Amino acid sequence: MTVRAQRFTAGVLAALAAAALSGCGLMPSMSSVGDADFDAPLPIPPLAESRVEDGVRVFSLTAQEGEMEFIDGHPTATRGFDGDFLGPTIRAERGERVAFEIASELSDVTSVHWHGMHLPAEMDGGPHQPIEPGGTWEPTWTIDQPAATLWYHPHPHGSTEQQVYEGLAGMFLLDDERSRAAELPSAYGVDDVPVIVQDRDIDRDTGEMDHRELHGKGAEVGLLGDTVMANGAVGAFHDVTTDRVRLRLLNGSTARTYAFGFDDRDVALVASDGGLLPEPVIRERVRLSPGERAEIVVEMEPGERAMLRSFAPDLGTVAAGFAAGANDAFDVLELRAADELAPRPAPSWEYEDVGLDEADAVATRRFELSGRKINGASMNMMRIDEVVELGDTEIWELRNDDLSPHNFHVHDVQFEVLSIDGDDPPAELSGRKDTIYLEPHREYRVIMRFEDYADPEVPYMYHCHLILHEDEGLMGQFVVAEP
Ligand code: C2O
Ligand code: CU
C-alpha cells in the first residue's frame, strides 16, 4: 500500500512541546487544538485488490514489519498489512463469498480478526486462530449482514494492544442494495472518506513508539498518546469537492475515547457500528470509544475550511478523568472545500429492520465488568463462559462496576440497545452496534440473535475493547451450540 510517512512540521512540534509542558501540571490535559499546520494530504488507504475464483472473491494480505518517519530523521518501527503502516481497505458485497490468503512475516504470533463480522467462529480470527511467525491462515465465509463500516486487526491473547498500536489495522467495508441506493456520498476517498483515528506516544528524540516502555506513564485505561493521527498522518487535510462529505470514522485507538465534531456546525450521524441508522441523527458531538465506528455527513460551504476535532469527551462519571483522557482535545483532520462544490442530496435511505424483539428473548445474561474481570473471572482460553443456543434471541445486561472507563464488544453478532438505566437509548444508539461504551455504574440492556454457525468447539469472544484491559483478562468466551 502507499500510505506514506507524514512528517511533523515545525508547528506540530511546537504544539506537541506545549502539550508536553502542560502535561507536567497537576491536571494533565493534552491539547493540539489550533496549534498545528494541517498540511499533510490525508492518506487514503488503497482498496485491497482481489480476484474472483470459482465465484469466491479472494484477497491476499501480508502482516509485516515496517518503518515510518513521523519525526524528521528519526524512523519509527511500525507494522502494517501489505505495507509499512495500517492496511488496505477491504470491500465486499453482501451475499458474496470471500476468502483470504493471509501470511505473516512478523516475528511473533498474530491473528486477523474481522471486527463486526457475522461469520463462523473458526473464521473469526480471535485468539483461537493464531498465525505463527512465517505462517499462513486462509479463512472463508459468505458476507451475510447489512452494509456497514467494519474493520480488521490482530487478536492474539495478551499482545493485541501492542500489535494494533504498532499499526496493524484496516477497514472492511460492506455494501448491499440499500446502501447502494442510499442518498449518501459514496465516491471512495473523494466524498466518502475512511478516517482511522489513533493516538500514539512518540519519543521526539528517537522516533520510538514502543508502547511497553510507555505504560510506566500509566493511565489505568492504557496508553494515552499526545499525537493523534488520521490514517497514519499527523496534521492531515482533505480536499472536499462536494457540498456534503461522508466521513467513516473508526476509533482505532487502544484506550482513548474521542468526541468528534466541529466548532461551528452539527453533523448528520448516518451509521454506527452495524450499518445505517433508522434515520439521520443530528449531533454536535459524536462519542466513539475504542473499536467503535460512526459514519457522519458534514455540510461544507465553497472555499471554507473546517477542522474535525476531538473535544474533551464526556465519559460519564469517571474518577480521575484526566487519567482517562476526559480533558484532552485534539485537531484531527482539516476539511478544505474547493471554491465550487458539486451538490450532494440530503442523506436518506431505506432502513432495514432486522426484527430484534424483546418478546422473542429466551435468555438474559448479565456481565459485570470490574478491574480485569467479567463476573469475577478473568479470561481463560480453556474455559467456555457461556453457551448460547443456535437461533436464540437473548438479552445481555452490561454494567461497568468501576469508576473508570470500559466498553463492551461482542463477536459474531450486532446488537441493539434496549435501554440504559431503564430509559430509551439516545438516538445515536438507535442502530446496530457491536461495541458500546459503558458509562460507570449504569445498566445497559442490549438484544441480539444468534442465528447461524453452531460450533460447540470454537468460541467467540466478548470483551472490553480498551485493549490493555482485554489483554490483561477482561474477556470471556461463548460458543453457539445446537439446541
Ligand atoms: Cu475489535 Cu475482539 O475485537
Ligand atoms: Cu475496560
Task: Give per-residue pLDDT as tens, 153-183.
Answer: 999 999 999 999 999 999 999 999 999 999 9
* Ligand 1 atom at minimum distance from 291 CA: 1
Take residue 417 and report the three cell numbers written for it: 440497545
* CATH class given for the domain over 40-177: mainly beta
Given a cut of 50, whether residue 22 has pLDDT beyond it is no
- pLDDT category at 71 given cuts 50, 70, 90 is confident
- Ligand number with the minimum distance to the CA of 154: 1
Beta strand ranges found along 135-189 (DSSP E): 136-137, 140-142, 148-153, 170-175
Mean pLDDT of 341-363: 97
Architecture per CATH, domain 29-37+184-342, reads as Sandwich (2.60)
Neighbours of 455 (CB within 10 A): 15
- pLDDT category at 213 given cuts 50, 70, 90 is low
Cβ–Cβ < 8 Å for 346, 446: no
Do 29-37+184-342 and 358-481 fold alike per CATH? Answer: yes
Mean pLDDT of 440-452: 98
- pLDDT category at 309 given cuts 50, 70, 90 is very high
pLDDT for the residue 436: 98
The region that residue 222 occupies, defined by phi over 0 for left and psi between -120 and 50 for alpha, beta otherwise, is left
Which one, of 256, 372, 375, lies nearest residue 321 by Cα? 256
Report strand pairing: 373-374 vs 50-53.
unpaired
Ligand 1 centre distance from Cα of residue 179 (Å): 24
- Residues with Cβ within 8 Å of residue 64, at least 6 apart in sequence: 79, 80, 81, 82, 83, 105, 106
More confident call, 322 vs 286:
286
Q: Closest Cα to atom 1, ligand 1: which residue?
A: 115
SS3 118: coil
Given a cut of 70, whether residue 60 has pLDDT beyond it is yes
Ligand 1 centre distance from Cα of residue 327 (Å): 26
Q: Which amino acid is at 192?
A: D
Given a cut of 70, whether residue 211 has pLDDT beyond it is no
| pLDDT per residue as tens digits for the range 333-351 | 999 999 999 999 999 999 9
pLDDT for the residue 4: 37
pLDDT for the residue 215: 54
Residues within a 6 A CB radius of ligand 1:
113, 115, 153, 155, 291, 409, 411, 461, 463, 465
Given a cut of 50, whether residue 6 has pLDDT beyond it is no
Parse the chain into domains and list their residue ranges. 29-37+184-342, 40-177, 358-481
- Ligand number with the minimum distance to the CA of 434: 1
Given a cut of 50, whether residue 258 has pLDDT beyond it is yes
- pLDDT category at 332 given cuts 50, 70, 90 is very high
Ligand 2 centre distance from Cα of residue 33 (Å): 27
The CATH classification number of 358-481 equals 2.60.40.420
**Mean pLDDT across the chain:** 92
